[in-house]
Amino acid sequence: MPQRIGFIGLGIMGKPMARNLLKAGYSLTVYSRKQEAVDTLVAEGARGACSSREVSEQSEVIITMVTDTPDVQQVVLGPDGVLSGLRAGGTIIDMSTISPTATREVANAAHAKGVHFLDAPVSGGEGGAVAGALSIMVGGDADTFNACLPIFQAMGKNIIHVGPNGSGQLVKLCNQIAVAVTNMAMSEALIFAAKAGVNLEKMHQAISGGAAGSWQLTNLAPRVFQRDFAPGFMVKLQQKDLRLVLQEADRLQLALPATGLVHNLFNALETMGARDEGTQALVKVLERLAGVEVKV
């Protein structure tokens, strides 16, 4: 077990992930723009730091879990970033969801300084992060992956090495395509049932166990019924991921019509003031179009 892990980024996902590393017995140093989150984990046994560099100076393995591509670039490559303090032979694990192209660039910069790099985005939302049951898709050197596997096992259950650097991000974008389009399918099914006057709870029970079953139908539909739009995963973060998908699709000259439609619907949702709500709020756009509300 590596003795010292640094964790940068303590948001909805990062905070419970870091907590699970503490529970697994790792020595942890943490840094976040949210001082309250740092203070909470310090009270639970972590050490606090005032910068990414300070974290890296005290750690052998650094995990980053931040919002977007520029954040990772700043945290890792910036003048007070991880690479300014991490010794050769150390490892950076970026668990954010960012551009595959930028990931390869950051990995190359790390390798040039003798630092190992893994891109390891996750799926499973806040619930998966809290339960330590995330799916983790990892790109990078196989030996580095194997060395870090116990760290991943403290945070996730379905942990797959998917290829070289950048592959983890590409697989995560595949995940986001499937998640977003399935969310739209679920929302349309709920709207159809509500407009037709079908008993929503019985409909949900009837189709969840068959071929229509999905994580979204099981976990998000009941929240819609109760008008609970608190985020497990925010609309604005889903949109960030869909922009990454569509940018990569454009580079590949690839048509993704359903993904493009969902992205546009989320644009409409953001104009309705729901960018900080959970992705189940997508149903609100369809409700406005249909003149019906999904609730029990």
- For the annotated catalytic residues, the residue numbers are 172
38: left (phi over 0), alpha (psi -120 to 50) or beta: alpha
Q: 287: helix, coil or strand?
A: helix
Residue pair 244/257 in contact by the 8 Å Cβ criterion: no
Asked if residue 139 lies in contact with residue 162, where contact means CB atoms within 8 angstroms, the answer is: yes
Give 84's DSSP letter: G
Cα 166 to Cα 3, 55, 61: the distances in Å are 27, 24, 19
Angle value at C-alpha 2, between 61 and 129, nearest 5 degrees: 65
